[in-house]
């Protein structure tokens, strides 16, 4: 089983991100979908694995890319914060953009609500927010992406409980 951690919208507060890293020390890489707000240096020091980080709408004065296209676990993926694709309304515009770039998975954030949306030609995954969750129950969330022995992908939304 291969495993990756997907997070977003930590907004400079890495406390919960560090908790998740401690829970999942076996991830092969980490994707951060933006609004890290200057937390990237601490994440780089603690991660112990490759990082893919994009800028969000609150990431000012840094050199983070707006988007990334990567080949990961045998999939072509688009990593973006999502605010340029109106994801607060629906992931459809992002899905169409990903398909036009021949990506079969799109990772995004911005809404602070976890979501895995299976659609024609592309899966859209939002891990939610580890710092300021907005979904019912308001639990900090993240996503674990796993590839099983049959090369099937699995996206599991995880939640932290308060300490």
Q: What is the pLDDT along the chain (163 residues), one digit of tens a residue?
A: 999 999 999 999 999 999 999 999 999 999 999 999 998 999 999 999 999 999 999 999 899 999 999 999 999 999 999 999 999 999 999 999 999 999 999 999 999 999 999 999 999 999 999 999 999 999 999 999 999 999 899 999 999 986 4
Domain 2-159 has CATH 3.40.50.1100: no
What separation in angstroms does the CA of 44 have from each of 11, 14, 31, 121, 124? 16, 12, 12, 33, 25
Structure tokens at 69: 């296209």
The domain spans of the chain are 2-159
Question: Is the separation of the CB atoms in 125 and 105 below 8 Å?
Answer: yes
Structure tokens at 15: 């406390």
């Amino acid at each position: 089983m291969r495993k990756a951690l997907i997070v977003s919208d930590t907004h400079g507060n890495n406390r919960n991100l560090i908790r998740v890293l401690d829970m999942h020390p076996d991830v092969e890489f980490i994707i951060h979908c933006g609004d890290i707000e200057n937390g990237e240096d601490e994440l780089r020091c603690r991660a112990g694995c490759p990082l893919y980080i994009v800028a969000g709408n609150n990431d000012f004065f840094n050199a983070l890319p707006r988007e990334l296209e990567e080949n990961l676990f045998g999939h072509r993926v688009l990593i973006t914060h999502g605010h340029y694709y109106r994801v607060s309304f629906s992931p459809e515009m992002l899905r169409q953009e990903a398909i036009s770039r021949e990506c079969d998975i799109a990772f995004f954030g911005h809404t602070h609500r976890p979501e895995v949306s299976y659609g024609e030609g592309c899966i859209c995954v939002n891990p939610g927010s580890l710092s300021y969750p907005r979904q019912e129950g308001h639990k900090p969330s993240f996503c674990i992406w796993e590839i099983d022995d049959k090369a099937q992908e699995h996206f599991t939304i995880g939640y932290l409980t308060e300490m």
